Amino acid sequence: MSTVAIVTLAGDLHARVIGRQLRDVHDVDVAVVASDTLSGAGGLTWSNVEGPDLSLPTEDGGTVSVADLDLVWWRRCHGRPTVPDGVTDPQMRKLVVKDNRAGLRGLLMAGFTGTWISDPYATERAQNKILQLDVARSVGLTVPRTLVSTDPAAVRDFTRAHGGTVIAKTLTGLLGTSLEAGRVTLESLDDDEEITVSATVYQEEVPGTDHLRVMVFGDGVHTARIRSGELDWRLANDMEVEPVTIDERLGNQLREVTERLALRMGVFDVKLRPDGEPVFLEVNPQGQFLFVEGMSDMPLGEAFADFVVGELASTRGRVLA
């Protein structure tokens, strides 16, 4: 029997749904490692001398040996970690969080020899929106004209060149906090101090109401069209979601972006101009996809579980070779 570890946040719906699919349908053993509850859980062990097995605590209160793992789905490793109330010093609480994260990542990077979905370093690297836009453009995708800057003059010049209104959004985002992309006008960009505080993404607005949520799982491409009049459909109440088939060329380009970012999966946001031209916005290396299943009846949980099983078969093939 194969064993999969899902590294995520406590109570993660995706881990529960995919874990159940893997166990019940594919006879795969699944261990869920809650990256935000490591403090106080015990069970995390690494050593370079003979003795204890490399192990990780599981969400159900047990442990899993790293030597038994065939695949790790590196889903979530941030969030708001819990720290026992007995640790009261703010700096020490931060240190506890950092050390536990370093211990988890280091243990797996040093001791795990199976397949990643996706490698932690690749996942972190791929989250950079500047890199995403550069890679997307290099494979022939249309991307919005974009400026990332803390320079007030550059920001105002860019906004002026695009009709006096642009879209502003964060460069990295913050897990657990909904940060909406919004329109800003040239008149509102009058505070130099505010502009210089943090690097911000400024983009031309892509017109249209049709968005594509494209889930690339290995070679598989699964697409939903989301129709909404809101600029940021994530916060909309008027969404219409339906499965669609995208052009083969677009699917191949998105697969190539995934490959160039050294990922095994990616969840893409693409917007369609009124003339139908797709415009790449961003890719989330571990984006949410089950909400699409809930709103469209697309069997995405089943598709992802099948993808994991395919990755496991590739792992076994490499071992046998």
Q: What is the domain-level CATH number for residue 257?
A: 3.30.470.20
Residues 194, 226, single domain; the answer is no
Report which of 238, 240, 245 is spatially closest to residue 226, judged by C-alpha positions.
Answer: 240
DSSP class of residue 234?
G
pLDDT for residue 234: 76
Residue 290: give the domain boundaries: 207-296
Residues 63, 162, single domain; the answer is no
* CATH number for position 158: 3.30.1490.20
Residue 174 CB partners (closer than 8 Å, separation 6+):
none
Q: Which residues pair with 266 in a beta bridge?
A: 216
Distance CA 225, CA 218 (A): 20
Residue 36's alpha-carbon distances to 33, 57, 82, 107, 248, in angstroms, are 9, 11, 6, 16, 39
Distance CA 35, CA 173 (A): 19
Q: In what order do the strands lie in the sheet with 265-272?
A: 240-244, 220-227, 210-217, 265-272, 278-284
- pLDDT mean across residues, the chain: 92
> Residue 199 in contact with residue 217, Cβ under 8 Å?
no
In a domain, 280, yes or no: yes
DSSP string of 38-68, one letter each residue: -TTT---B--SSSSSPPEEE-TTS-EEEGGG
Of 168, 203, 238, the position where a domain reaches its end is 203
DSSP string of 172-221, one letter each residue: S-BTTB----EEEEGGG---HHHHHSS-EEEEPPPP-SEEEEEEEETTEE
In a domain, 187, yes or no: yes
Residues 70, 105, single domain; the answer is yes
Of 203, 226, 242, the position where a domain reaches its end is 203
Entry pTM: 0.92
Of 113, 136, 168, the position where a domain reaches its end is 113
Residues 185, 237, single domain; the answer is no
Residues 24, 99, single domain; the answer is yes
pLDDT for residue 174: 56
Structural domains counted in the chain: 3
**pLDDT-wise least confident of 35-44, 139-148, 179-188, 282-291:** 179-188
pLDDT for residue 173: 64
**Percentage of residues in the chain having pLDDT higher than 90:** 84
Residues 10, 53, single domain; the answer is yes
DSSP class of residue 27?
-
Residues 229, 178, single domain; the answer is no
Model confidence at 179, pLDDT cuts 50, 70, 90, reads low
Residues 17, 98, single domain; the answer is yes
Query: What SS3 class is residue 300?
Result: helix
DSSP class of residue 233?
G
pLDDT for residue 77: 85
pLDDT tens profile 155-178: 999 999 999 999 999 887 655 444
In the predicted model, what is the mean pLDDT of residues 203-221? Answer: 96
In the predicted model, what is the mean pLDDT of residues 109-121? Answer: 94
Distance CA 174, CA 176 (A): 6
